[in-house]
Amino acid sequence: MEREVPCAPAALPPSLAEALEGYRWARDTVGESGGAVYHLRGGAGGPDLYLKHGVGAVADDVTDEMARLVWLSPRIAVPPLIHFVRDAASAWLVTGMLEGETAYQLLERAPGQRGAVVDALADFLRQLHAIPAADCPFVADHRLRLRHARARIDAGLVEEEEFDPARAGWSAEQVWAALGALQPVAPEPVVTHGDYSLDNLLLRDGAVTGCIDLGRVGVADRYQDVAIMWNCLGEFDHSLRDRFLDRYDARPLDEQRLDFHLLLDELF
């Protein structure tokens, strides 16, 4: 699948239309989460930009991401905020582009570098989780996520055909029941990314240059991030999972918490 498709410029508020005049537009097809994501290139020799647009409830999500981006920016590497516009119905968030390529692209392109990539991803996650949780104004714990998951099930929004192979053929209600069987969960609260996946980490010269898609950032159990990355690495080589856990220092592995967060993520 093409990760970007050239497109015409989207309709913009006048202030943004003027600021972004002359850019070439492409629609990003990865990880849009209900909104529209665009890659903007070549505006009067300026830097590449990304624009995220949402309407209705998705506009609230874009606004939440902007707030988290502003809070995180002095604490860990994230894209620079360039523009933000919000009206009664819509939100537009424009950020600078981080250098490098996604972890997924690098793992796919350079098999010989996979060990070093995994080490860099684990090291960056340790940095994120070392941010004092008491300083974070955003809550993203499993209780909140369970309420959102239940609402998504009831609204018919869960894409059951997208479940991981281990749960192929399951219904959302079966996932919900399995979650209940794994509770109670004893969390270790840290500042989490919320979707610490290979497409959301950028690397260059062996180091992570930053993370993107920050709308789920908040205080939650550390396994929220550990589980998602562990799951992603299995697509390439299961040995990378062990390397990640060792480097991050998730030993001994809490399999109950790992399974709980893998199940919970299926509902989003």
Residues recognised as catalytic: 195
Q: In this structure, what token pair is assigned to residue 212?
A: 């993107």
Contact 25, 7 (CB under 8 A): yes
Distance CA 203, CA 210 (A): 7
CB hemisphere CA count around 165 (13 angstroms): 4
Q: How is the beta sheet containing 24-28 ordered, strand by strand?
A: 4-7, 24-28, 36-41, 49-55, 90-96, 81-86
Distance CA 99, CA 26 (A): 18
Burial label for 262, CB within 10 Å (0-12, 13-18, 19+), is buried
Contact 254, 223 (CB under 8 A): yes
Residues across the chain: 268
Distance CA 161, CA 138 (A): 31
β-sheet bridge partners, residue 3: none
